[in-house]
Amino acid sequence: MIDNFLLLLLFINISNAPLLIPRQFSKKTISNMNSMTFWVVRHAEREDNINSTWQNSSTLKSDNSPLSKRGQGQADELAVRFNNIHLDHIFVSPFDRTLETATRLLQGHSNATIKVEPGLCEGLYMCEDPPGYEELDILKEKYPLVDTCYQSIMPWKLPREGDGDEACTPRIQMTLEGIEKRFPGTEVLLVSHGAPIGAIHELLGGSWKYVGQATVSKFVKKQKGGYIKELSGDASHLSDKTNLRPW
């Protein structure tokens, strides 16, 4: 009798308790979980584009030209463009022109850090052997936003590639796949060079395309896989759109 009475009390308590229903993800949440956006920016104008004797007053290697004065202005205009755009991760080629472009672009992003990624390096056939970018500790001194804890997708000493712009495509593919695997569902900014960005267009957009300096491209992952190209070589933020050197 006592056992039956206790069972009755337990049943009453359970019946009056609030139901614990598993949380259901909304369609919007599911969409966000599956989304991935690559913003892609080519570095701004280089000093060696307009000054053939720039190395006379620089210690940088011949393949590592910094930005020109115009390039610095272009990067500042990129900062205005990206001021209200959320970015989860920023991956940048280790050359000075890309790091300076990214640093200026991120002026309005107070907590941003830069992940230096050798996989976004210029096509190696156009670089010194080995490429002339500096060591990470030196880059950190010059560009304080550099995250020295980031473990790059590709090694700092890149394996050799063939000649021609398309020779970098396998490296770019490994880099994109590595980023997507390690940082899924995020808003990513890539700052790179002409040939690698051409390869990004081919890999994500279906066809190779050269874009101008300081221009913006955007690729958004579709719900069922693959990417949609929303922007390609967009220069609407630039006050001077002349001679952007897409080649």
Q: What confidence tens digit (pLDDT) does each residue in 76-117 have?
A: 999 999 999 999 999 999 999 999 999 999 999 999 999 999
- CB count within 10 Å of CB 174 equals 13
Strand duo 115-116 + 227-234: pairing = unpaired
Give the pTM: 0.86
- Tally the C-alpha atoms within 13 A of residue 196's C-alpha that lie toward its C-beta: 29
Domains of the chain in start order, with CATH, are: 33-49+60-232 (3.40.50.1240)
Nearest to 243 by CA among 40, 43, 45, 77: 45
Model pLDDT for residues 197-229, shown as the tens digit of each residue: 999 999 999 999 999 999 999 999 998 889 999
